[in-house]
Structure 1
Amino acid sequence: MSTATHRSIFIVEDEFMLVMLLEDLLPAIGYTVAGTAGSVEAALEQLETLDVDLAVVDVNLAGTESFPVADALRARGVPFVFTTGYGQEGLPARYAGTPVLAKPFRRHDLEAALSRLQPAR
């Protein structure tokens, strides 16, 4: 098991099957899922009250780039990993150092990406 025990994580993903997969995988590797959102608007709304240590953020939410969510997470000091099928090349320069989890991914890929993050607390 990961050393991540009891870290809360926010999932920002619009694909229902991936949300379900993450909701199963994350607790198995020591994380608590604090919430999920499938759109930029829903994610920003939840971030107003949600207390999280880390986040997993899909770059493309139903055709809308999730960078406003990433900016809000950064402003709060919450580390995050992007998920995308396009790799680091599709990210703006300001996110050059942000970990990217390439889709499709496996459990060990998720664990490796999250292990690169330092929790907000």
Structure 2
Amino acid sequence: MDGLSVLIVEDDWLVADAIERQVDEIGGWVVGPVASVAEAMLALSRAMPDLALLDINLGRETSYAIADALAARGTPFIFVTAYDRSILPDRFAKRPLLSKPLSSAELRKELVEIGLAHRSTSADATHGQQR
């Protein structure tokens, strides 16, 4: 995870703080945390994170628009929610989902797996450009 940027979208400050600390502990660089769709879209307009953690329920809105924007750019993301997988629209049915309360071990495992996959994909793209 060293150096990978992680956008955290979470409307509960205590949960966001706990996730931020966990990302920091495994060497990620935190973007945010942000608590709304508008804040997330603004953050995405400024810089594209390597991956994102998205709470589904953000008060009176959901993070699905953020997920759509990330998916369109090929940026991996993980839903983080107290709800079960049945809440996800079909287009996100196969996306990773972590249940709250978050287990540090589960979060670490998912972030490292996605981070390694991202690094591999980025390295392949860079290698292909050098040919």
**Considering the TM-score relative to the shorter chain, is it more than 0.5?**
yes
Q: How much has 1:53 moved relative to structure 2?
A: 0.3
Match of 2:125 in 1: none
Unaligned runs of 5+ in 1: none
State the Cα deviation string for residues 26-57 of structure 1 (Å, max 9, x = none): 11012111222100111111111123100000
Q: 1:3-82, aligned counterparts within 5 Å?
A: 4-82=1-79
Distance 2:112 2:84 in 1: 18
Q: Which structure is larger by alpha-carbon Rg, 1 or 2?
A: 2
Mapped pair 1:91 → 2:88: yes
Conserved 8 A contact 1:34-1:50 = no
Number of aligned residue pairs = 118
Match of 2:111 in 1: 114
Opposite residue 17 of structure 2, the aligned amino acid is M
Conserved 8 A contact 1:9-1:31 = yes
| TM norm structure 2 | 0.84
Opposite residue 91 of structure 1, the aligned amino acid is L
Distance 1:115 1:23 in 2: 15
| TM norm structure 1 | 0.90
Distance 2:3 2:104 in 1: 18
Structure in which a larger fraction of residues adopt helix: 2
Conserved 8 A contact 1:11-1:19 = yes
Match of 2:102 in 1: 105
Distance 2:88 2:94 in 1: 10
Kindly report the root-mean-square deviation, in angstroms, between the aligned alpha carbons of the 2 structures: 1.4
How many percent of aligned residue pairs carry the same amino acid? 36
